[in-house]
Amino acid sequence: MALLQISEPGMSTAPHQHRLAVGIDLGTTNSLVATVRNGTSAVLNDAQGRAMLPSVVRYVDAQQILVGEIAQRNQNDDPINTISSVKRFMGRGLSDLGDTSRFPYRFMTDANTQTVQLRTAAGVKSPVEVSAEILKVLRTRAELSLGGELVGAVITVPAYFDDAQRQATKDAARLAGLNVLRLLNEPTAAAIAYGLDNGAEGVYAVYDLGGGTFDISILRLSRGVFEVLATNGDSVLGGDDFDQRIFCWLLEQNSLQALPASDMRLLLTHARTAKEQLTEHNEARITAMLSDGRVIDSVLSQAQFHEMSNNLLQRTLQPLRRALRDAGLKVADINGVVMVGGATRMPQVQRAVGEFFAQTPLTNLDPDKVVALGAAIQANLLAGNRGADDWLLLDVIPLSLGLETMGGLAEKVIPRNSTIPTARAQEFTTYKDGQTAMSIHVVQGERELISDCRSLAKFELRGIPAMAAGAARIRVTFQVDADGLLSVAAREMGSGVEATIEVKPSYGLSDGEITRMLQESGQYAKEDMQARALRELQTEANQLLDAVQNALMQDGDLLSAAQHADISAQLNNLQSSLQDSDTQVLKRAITALNDVTVNFAQARMDKSVASALAGKKISDLEI
């Protein structure tokens, strides 16, 4: 025990006080929060004793946002407004998502950042905002549990996340009111938890197959230093894809096509359950009833599942080979293989990894919790709570950073697997006499062609002193910080004039934007809520009118004269209410028409439009 406590500037006046800090695993499927208490890292449970918060957010309406299990429970009924696996959309554009019809969401593109947005019952939401809702719940959980405000949090990200995805994650955390102490790579977090717990020494591979992302990291652990030698992965490969394989198989088996969103969601949920069952059992039976009354009853064997998912497994082996090569190592050099992520519970994954490394993978840690536990240990250190032993983490940048050169080629400036923080400067010159501006295009990726890399930022350097071609010397500096985030500065040196500009990638939110969003999140909603609610009710009313009118035309003969009259009266009533700008009136008219058409709907049941008229499933008509 120290005799004297010396306070450093910037530290609290009571440095001996334990500073509350947490590690958060913001996962594709589930999220967790953990902290170090009494020297031990532990996951914090919710009031019901649950550790895992399903990463699902449901926008019921403009006011009501549900997060976690409660949102997940109803996702089959309200798939459009229930956002799951939002991590897959972080920092991504629409074109990155591929076939969007496999998602039950209404996608949009942000005009400024070209990133994906989602149209929900609470308006247009960015993946950053959706993720922030998950983080807010975890923050509240931690503060209630720890009894105080948090000093900060370490948020984990897949090691293979690029700059845009990292920036989006950091923005989400700030939007949730968290002070981000560090973005930590998930496999590295797992290695910390594993290594410190087991006093491990030597070279370890961490195989991390999460819900939507795959990472492989190779680390050297020695005397308290965790040194990442190489990392690789696939940021669009995870347990979700195994569900998807079963889902597609179900469609094929039952000759299904063009399903409504609720049915898609239902079958995906069943696919996931079947996947989990196949971990312990030889076969899984999938029974479900679709919204049109059709019954699905299929049996999937483990062998069939392994066969249909084999190429997904093979896709994880390629990054393994690359990471080993980048680290300059052979399989025989690996002392241990740590398995992380719920998807590594699948026996075929354990077998394939075991075969690749010619050793049994370590599975004594809970693959769902180990990342959060490691993040908590790191958070504790970063918050300034010093334990007896110091340890050091040296991580790397997963993807090369480069610049566009003549002919649309990418020139690498910082190669992948460089230890961070790192910086590299590159000098440029003008190619025309009197040239006063030049444009610089920063990309990330391993491919030679610019078009195959991810564009991070395009900016213009202006105010270069007019000189003969080649006389101006512009030095562009790339700085990658300990979060793996890039900033670029440029400086003109040839003339002795030093103009420095700081460039942030265009998709990131500035501090000002974050503050404004935080401030406005309450106020903005109030002003805009009414208008938005009215707009959405009008849409709903129009869809209902269309549906009822069509139904009357086709099957009006199923109704008695009195029923026909009732429905016509409510039809007219709703039509006239549409002119009204009163949301209450409109809502009542919609309900009234819904009510009188219930019987009609019943009669038409076997004509399979039941769901269109039976009440709340209007939005399904869109599909």
Task: List residues binding other proteins (CB under 8 A).
Answer: 8-11, 19, 151-152, 181-182, 225, 318, 321-322, 325, 378, 381-384, 390, 392-394, 418-423, 446, 479, 481-482
Closer residue to other proteins (CB): 178 or 284:
178
Smallest separation (angstroms) from other proteins to the CB of 475: 15
Largest Cα separation within the chain, whole Å, is 94
Smallest separation (angstroms) from other proteins to the CB of 344: 22
Smallest separation (angstroms) from other proteins to the CB of 18: 12
What is the Cα–Cα distance from 216 to 230, expressed in whole angstroms?
A: 8
Closer residue to other proteins (CB): 94 or 514:
514
Long-range pairs of 613-619 with CB within 8 A, sequence gap ≥ 24? 613/547, 613/548, 613/551, 616/77, 617/262, 617/291, 618/540, 618/543, 618/544, 618/547, 619/80, 619/261, 619/540, 619/543
H/E run at residue 133: helix 127-146
Name the residue with tokens 């994650």.
169
Query: Kindly report the CA angle at 13 between 11 and 16, in degrees rounded to 5?
Result: 85
Closer residue to other proteins (CB): 322 or 532:
322
Smallest separation (angstroms) from other proteins to the CB of 386: 9
Closer residue to other proteins (CB): 9 or 199:
9
Note if 208 is an active site residue.
yes
Q: With the CA atoms of 549, 550, 552 and 556 taken in that order, what torsion angle do they form, in degrees rounded to the nearest 10?
A: 170
Closer residue to other proteins (CB): 222 or 310:
222
From 162, 163, 186, 620, active-site residue:
186
How many residues are listed for the chain in this entry?
Answer: 623
What is the Cα–Cα distance from 88 to 27, expressed in whole angstroms?
A: 10
- Look up residue 299 and give its amino acid: V
Whether the Cβ atoms of residue 64 and residue 142 lie closer than 8 Å to each other = no
State the DSSP code for 408.
G
Smallest separation (angstroms) from other proteins to the CB of 225: 5
Q: Which of 297, 296, 293 is nearest to 607 (CA)?
A: 293
Note if 25 is an active site residue.
yes
Long-range pairs of 345-354 with CB within 8 A, sequence gap ≥ 24? 345/276, 345/279, 346/242, 346/275, 346/278, 346/279, 347/279, 347/302, 348/305, 348/306, 348/309, 348/310, 348/313, 349/209, 349/313, 349/316, 352/313, 352/316, 352/317, 353/207
What is the Cα–Cα distance from 96 to 601, expressed in whole angstroms?
A: 41
From 133, 208, 234, 404, active-site residue:
208
H/E run at residue 376: helix 370-382
Name the residue with tokens 């990309």.
443
Whether a cis peptide bond, with omega within 30° of 0, leads into 158 is: no
Closer residue to other proteins (CB): 180 or 274:
180
Smallest separation (angstroms) from other proteins to the CB of 9: 6
Closer residue to other proteins (CB): 103 or 207:
207
Token duo for residue 70: 């409660």
What is the Cα–Cα distance from 96 to 236, expressed in whole angstroms?
A: 10
Smallest separation (angstroms) from other proteins to the CB of 38: 20
Smallest separation (angstroms) from other proteins to the CB of 227: 8
Note if 526 is an active site residue.
no
What is the Cα–Cα distance from 314 to 94, expressed in whole angstroms?
A: 26
Note if 234 is an active site residue.
no
Smallest separation (angstroms) from other proteins to the CB of 61: 40
Closer residue to other proteins (CB): 288 or 383:
383
Name the β-bridge partners of 402.
Answer: 412, 443
Q: What is the DSSP string of 14-69?
A: -TTSPPPEEEEEE-SSEEEEEEEETTEEEEPP-TTS---EESEEEE-SSS-EEETH
Closer residue to other proteins (CB): 201 or 546:
201
Closer residue to other proteins (CB): 381 or 548:
381
Q: Which of 373, 349, 479 is nearest to 423 (CA)?
A: 479
Smallest separation (angstroms) from other proteins to the CB of 230: 12
- Known catalytic residues? 25, 87, 186, 208
